Amino acid sequence: MKVINLLVGGPTAEWPEALKKGQIKGPWIGADRGNLRLIKLGINPTVAIGDFDSMSTDELKVVKQHVKDVRTFPARKDFTDTELLLMCAIRDYDPQIIRIYGATGGRIDHFLSNLFMVLEPRFRKYAERVKLIDDKNSIGFYLPGKHLIHKEPDKKYLAFVPLGGMHVSLSHVEYPLDHHWIGFPRSYSSNEFIGDYAKFSFDQNIMCVIQSKD
Binding site for a copy of itself (CB under 8 A): 13, 80, 104-110, 112-113, 115-116, 119-120, 134, 136-137, 139, 157, 159, 161, 163-164, 184-187, 189-190, 210, 212-214
Residue 184 C-beta: closest distance to a copy of itself, Å: 5
Residue 27 C-beta: closest distance to a copy of itself, Å: 26
Q: Identify which of residues 95 and 188 has a Cβ nearer to a copy of itself in the complex.
A: 188
Alpha helices in 94-183 (DSSP H): 108-116, 121-124
Q: Identify which of residues 53 and 120 has a Cβ nearer to a copy of itself in the complex.
A: 120
Report the C-alpha gap between 153 and 144 in whole angstroms.
Answer: 26
Q: Identify which of residues 112 and 194 has a Cβ nearer to a copy of itself in the complex.
A: 112
Q: Identify which of residues 27 and 34 has a Cβ nearer to a copy of itself in the complex.
A: 34
- By DSSP bridging, strand 130-133 and strand 137-142 are antiparallel
Residue 116 C-beta: closest distance to a copy of itself, Å: 5
What is the SS3 assignment for 69?
Answer: strand
Alpha-carbon distance values, 54 to 35, 50, 73, 121 (Å): 13, 10, 13, 31
Report the C-alpha gap between 171 and 80 in whole angstroms.
Answer: 36
